[in-house]
């Protein structure tokens, strides 16, 4: 079985962090997003993993080969950002008929991958959403068993069952041919080659796709969803904090990376401190702090601090009279 992970996007909604770091390399719960995805997929023992990179792809390549040396990962470059369909096509070779699983590189799933790839039919991961106009939406047949139509970000959605970024096709050549036909005909939607358009071609040709319900879907495409994913993953497997500090309180769940220095602080809940972070005289909760960052004299909540950043507030003296208020 082949696995394709598109990870070439620039992550514009996560700027300023993605000015220097590709989106899939942003840390959540102690490791980059792509690290969680690869760790979950390793149990499938795939014949190959095509990791499609573009923007700052060198750092992704270096990380995966260092941390996952035993996985059959091949780096595929998408030099032109022409859409998800084009990214997947870049990783597909002609006449390869093996089953193919496509997993978006900015989404972590709580799913039994072995179950979805054992499906006798093609399968698409779906989940109900409150705002279906933001997603690709599936429409089912009268029995609710097969997918009959895929609509990318409909203005008037006929349902709320959204595609979540998990696609399983029993024959990779079928998918490649549909995508190649789309590109040859210039069949773009909103200026890009959409994977949903190629899948619709297969459905129209008589291929049966079934919906596969996803329980846990942790999107990392925006700051608020990145923090939400950090919370969910820390809750799922609370890490053990191995830091000796007599004057610091840790409120679980918290991840603390190697070589961190923490003094006179309160850390947690739902805080990820990357390698080499220094924290002094601070309170941090619901936040992600990048490698070798320094936080001193701050109260942080719902924050993402990039690698090497320094936040230092000098101590202050105050004389406040009765009934005074100081709101910072």
Q: Does residue 92 belong to any structural domain of this protein?
A: yes
Is 327 within the bounds of a domain?
no
pLDDT score recorded for residue 110? 86
pLDDT score recorded for residue 242: 65
**118 & 201 share domain:** yes
Between CA 75 and CA 153 the distance in angstroms is 30
Same-domain status, 306 and 169: no
Distance of alpha carbon 178 from alpha carbon 168, whole angstroms: 14
Q: What is the predicted pLDDT for the residue at 243?
A: 65
Residue 320 lies in a domain: no
Closest CA to 299 of 288, 313, 283, 286: 283
* pLDDT tens, residue by residue, 269-295: 999 999 999 999 999 999 999 999 999
Tell whether 27 is covered by a domain.
yes
Statement to judge: residues 253 and 276 lie in one domain: yes
Report, as ranges of residue numbers, the positions in the chain whose pLDDT lies below 50: none
Q: What is the pLDDT of residue 157?
A: 79
Contacts of 172 (CB under 8 A, 6+ apart): 2, 92, 96, 97, 98, 99, 100
Both 149 and 49 in one domain: the answer is yes
DSSP 198-264: HHHHHHHTT--EEEEE-SEEEE-SSHHHHHHHHHHHHHHSPPP-----TT-EE-SSEEE-TT-EEES
Residue 19 neighbours by CB under 8 Å, 6+ apart: none
102 and 7 in a common domain: yes
218 with 258, same domain: the answer is no
H/E segment holding residue 74? strand 73-77
How many whole angstroms from its chain centre is CA 211? 21
CB distance 109 to 125 below 8 Å: yes
Q: Is residue 41 part of a domain?
A: yes
The dihedral over CA atoms of 209, 211, 214, 217, expressed in degrees to the nearest 10, equals 70
Answer yes or no: do 264 and 181 share one domain.
no
151 and 215: one domain?
Answer: yes
Cα 174–Cα 161–Cα 229 angle in degrees, nearest 5: 95
Residues 24 and 129 in one domain: yes
Let me know whether 208 and 109 are in one domain: yes
Question: Residue 92 is encoded by which pair of tokens?
Answer: 């597909």
For residues 103 and 252, membership in a common domain is answered with no
Note whether 153 and 173 are same-domain residues: yes
Structural domain count of the chain: 2
Residue 328 lies in a domain: no
Range of the domain at 245: 238-312
* Residue 94 covered by a domain: yes
In a domain, residue 324? The reply is no
């Amino acid at each position: 079985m082949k696995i394709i992970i598109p990870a070439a996007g620039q992550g514009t909604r996560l700027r300023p962090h993605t000015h220097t770091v590709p989106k899939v390399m942003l840390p959540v719960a102690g490791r980059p997003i792509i690290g969680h995805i690869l760790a979950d997929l390793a149990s499938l023992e795939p014949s190959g993993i095509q990791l499609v990179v573009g923007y700052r792809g060198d750092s992704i390549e270096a990380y995966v080969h260092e941390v996952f040396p035993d996985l059959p990962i091949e780096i595929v470059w998408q030099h032109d950002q022409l859409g998800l369909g084009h990214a997947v096509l870049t990783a597909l070779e002609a006449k390869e008929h093996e089953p193919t699983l496509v997993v978006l590189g900015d989404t972590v799933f709580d799913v039994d991958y072995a179950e979805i790839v054992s499906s006798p039919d093609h399968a698409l991961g779906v989940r109900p959403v409150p705002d279906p106009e933001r997603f690709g939406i599936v429409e089912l047949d009268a029995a609710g068993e097969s997918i009959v139509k895929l609509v990318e970000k409909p203005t008037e959605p006929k349902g709320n069952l959204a595609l979540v970024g998990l696609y399983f096709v029993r024959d990779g050549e079928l998918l490649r041919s549909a995508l190649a036909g789309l590109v040859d005909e210039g069949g773009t939607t909103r200026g890009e080659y959409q994977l949903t358009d190629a899948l619709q071609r297969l459905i129209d040709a008589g291929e049966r796709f079934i919906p596969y319900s996803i329980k846990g879907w942790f999107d990392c495409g925006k700051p608020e969803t990145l923090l939400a994913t950090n919370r969910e993953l820390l809750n799922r497997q609370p890490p053990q904090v191995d830091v000796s500090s007599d004057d610091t309180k840790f409120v679980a769940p918290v991840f603390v990376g190697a070589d961190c220095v923490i003094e006179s602080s309160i850390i947690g809940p739902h805080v990820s401190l990357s390698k080499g972070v220094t924290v002094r005289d601070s309170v941090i909760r619901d936040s992600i702090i990048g490698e070798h960052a320094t936080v001193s004299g701050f109260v942080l909540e719902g924050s993402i601090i990039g690698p090497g950043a320094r936040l230092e507030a000098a101590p202050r003296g105050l004389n406040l009279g009765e009934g005074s208020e100081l709101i910072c």
